[in-house]
Amino acid sequence: MIGFDYGTSNCAVGIMDNDQPKLINLGEHGRFMASSLYSPSRDVIVNWLQKNINQPHRDKFTQLRQYQLSKGQEALEDLRYDGIAEHLSFGKDALSRYLEDPSEGYYIKSPKSFLGTSGLLPPQIAFFEHIVASMMAHVKQLTENELQREVTQVVIGRPINFQGRNSEESNKQAIEVLTNAAKHVGYQDVEFQFEPVAAGFEYEAKLTKETRVLVVDIGGGTTDCSMLLMGPQFINKLDRSAELLSHSGKRIGGNDFDIQLALKGIMPNLGMTSELLTGKPMPVNSYHEAVAINDVNAQTEFYNAKNGRFLAQLKRDSKQPELLARLLKVYEQKLSYQLVNSAEQAKINLTDNHQNLIDLSYLDSGLTQDVDRDLFLQASENQLNSIAQLMEEAVESAGCQPDVIFVTGGTAKSPVINQFLQQQFNNIPVIIGDHFGSVASGLTRWSKRIFS
């Protein structure tokens, strides 16, 4: 049995070892695998998955996906003819292959962000199921290699709401995708637990008395808050519904902070704040769509042929066409992920430094942009205010004040965000948990309770 944090930013797996959760090494990824996948063609993902799923499921999978497998086989033959490596890559290796030539292949970061998206057609849902299952198959293989035994029982973390709109229908769709993917790769018993609740379980193990805990989990794709009644007297209960005093959650996470920093810090170099020849401000919709890597519809709109013609016309109509040429280059070479990755790396570097110089030479030779913590705070204002509102909603819904605030999630590592959270409840202690491991550890504890 394992706890599996299939996160927006990272994946982690835990097992119980001497009554304590232990995060295991996932091969070359270490304890945390970046939630990214690269395929030389999007059509061959299903073929890789067919070869790497559990045998009892393989025959049924083959029958249901005959058309996709046939289409993928044609793509594989083309790749072999051109001498292109046909294997899939995951984690940092996926990002490296993408950066080698962003215009080729298929790269996706944080596929969890797309789960539950409204308006997806059945083929699109099936495609995301293939992506999730491929990542799960890879993680499962690495887990079993490390443990030297088969793993068949899993508790998977989930946010309060996967998407902001139509949350009930969205959550149902996302859970079905995750469950189907887990079953495909050989998990026999699949359970879910809210991620902030799991993070709270990990904190609960350190408590010596009954405590009201407001758990704030700022993940890569969502922020979730749970007010929990915790303590040693509750730790072995299988039904914790009476102690879950309130929930609040919204689709705000690390990806959104990266996107906003890209808009504020990088996009002026592409003409976002420039003017047209008429003196009117530059239309900004395409700039937002260009970096909206967690929005299927926005990315589809940005990369369609009609928008390509629109951007070419904007360049002709601009007072600074050299800046619009950079935006057109993003469109032509599919550089959206590279832009947001530049912002993400700057955000990470601002954790330990007050300033950071972003290398944008992939847009124009010698181009750089200096950003600092003040700019990051300005860019993040709307997201931070939304998180503060979620915290207030959880407190109001619970009808009581917390004794302590427990903060987890990789995004909370930023001193800018950390300081903001400290200011929200001045007289209540704020405890910072394991930024990346709290959820996985809590899921692991829960797996022992329900599967033992």
> Where exactly are the structural domains of the chain?
2-187, 208-253+382-434, 255-379
Residue pointed to by tokens 């944080």:
110
Predicted confidence at residue 452, as pLDDT, reads 83
User: What distance in Å separates the CA atoms of residue 68 and residue 50, rounded to the nearest whole number?
Assistant: 11
Domains 2-187 and 208-253+382-434 alike in fold = yes
Looking at the domain covering 208-253+382-434, what would its CATH class be?
alpha beta
Please state which of the four CATH numbers 3.40.1160.10, 3.40.50.300, 3.40.50.620, 3.30.420.40 is assigned to the domain occupying 2-187: 3.30.420.40
Do residues 371 and 404 touch, judged by C-beta distance below 8 A? no
Q: Which pLDDT tens digit goes with each residue over 303-316?
A: 999 999 999 999 99
Whether pLDDT at 164 is above 70: no
Look at residue 165 in the predicted model and tell me its pLDDT.
60
* Mean pLDDT on 255-273: 96
Q: What's the whole-number mean pLDDT along residues 402-431?
A: 85
pLDDT classification of 120: cutoffs 50, 70, 90 = confident
Average pLDDT score over the chain: 92
Residue 57 vs residues 50, 373, 374: alpha-carbon distances, Å? 9, 50, 52
For residue 214, which phi and psi values (nearest 5 degrees)?
-95, 105
SS3 state at 35: coil
Beta-sheet pairing, 2-6 with 153-158: parallel
Q: Which amino acid is present at 181?
A: A
Mean pLDDT across 200-221: 89
The pLDDT confidence band at residue 431, using thresholds 50, 70 and 90, is confident
User: What is the arithmetic mean of pLDDT over 151-176?
Assistant: 88
* Model-wide pTM > 0.75: yes
The C-alpha R_g of the chain, in whole angstroms, comes to 23
Question: Cβ(220)–Cβ(35) under 8 Å?
Answer: yes
Q: Confidence band (pLDDT; 50, 70, 90) for 166? A: low
